[in-house]
Amino acid sequence: MNIEIRQVEKFESLIDEFENHLTELKSESLESQQLFFRNIEELEEKFSLGLKSVAIDLIDRLAREELAEDYLDDEAMSLVMDKDTCMTVLSSSHDLHIGRILKKEDESRGLEMKRFQDLLYKYNNEESLRNRNRILQIHDFSKNNKSTLYALLSSDDDEGFDEDEYQQQLQQQHLQGGSSNHNNLVK
């Protein structure tokens, strides 16, 4: 049993060390993800500004009649005819893209946190199951040895020594902290 207790203590120290290293890796991963998504936001911002400047240029050129009316199809022409509507649509598109980027960032962060928690749970659960099985094995081993000892002692005993009396004497000895020989219990 002492060996199992030492095993549990070693596992606890190892899992603490593992958790510390895993926490560092998780932090680095989350920082990298944040940097990645900030870069994507910057690219979206640049794209949106570029698109707005192209749209304004196109609207101005159409207003000055520098472009033919058939330069754009009917749907695009109806959009650029009203500058306020065009800018509103472009701003809405930009906001929608930023919203999707932030949603993906939240999903990515959530997956990273779940992976971290699942991994720790897995190893703790496996160790708990191993420990539980080992304790049951030790308990069964002890029970079998006591039964064998009882059988040996009762076959030598002419007075009809019973197992209940033997169990009581073992418990008394354990409570007293004695380490006397089992043969002393047979008296």
pLDDT tens digits for range 105-131: 999 999 999 999 999 999 889 988 988
Range in 15-19, 73-77, 95-99, 172-176 with the lowest mean pLDDT: 172-176
Q: What does the pLDDT look like over 133-171, one tens digit per residue? A: 988 888 899 899 988 888 888 776 545 555 666 677 777
Map out the domains of the chain as residue ranges: 2-156
What would the two tokens of residue 46 be?
Answer: 């640049």
Task: Check if the beta carbon of residue 91 is closer than 8 Å to that of residue 55.
Answer: no
Give dist(CA 61, CA 53) in Å, integer: 12
Give the residue-averaged pLDDT of 24-31: 94
With b meaning 16 or more CB within 10 Å and e meaning fewer, what string describes 52-90?
Answer: eeebeebbeebeeeeeeeeebeeeeeeebeeeeebeeeb
Please state, in angstroms and as integers, the Cα–Cα distance from residue 126 to each residue in 11, 37, 73, 123, following that order. 11, 36, 65, 5
Of all residues in the chain, the percent with pLDDT exceeding 70 is 86
pTM value?
0.63
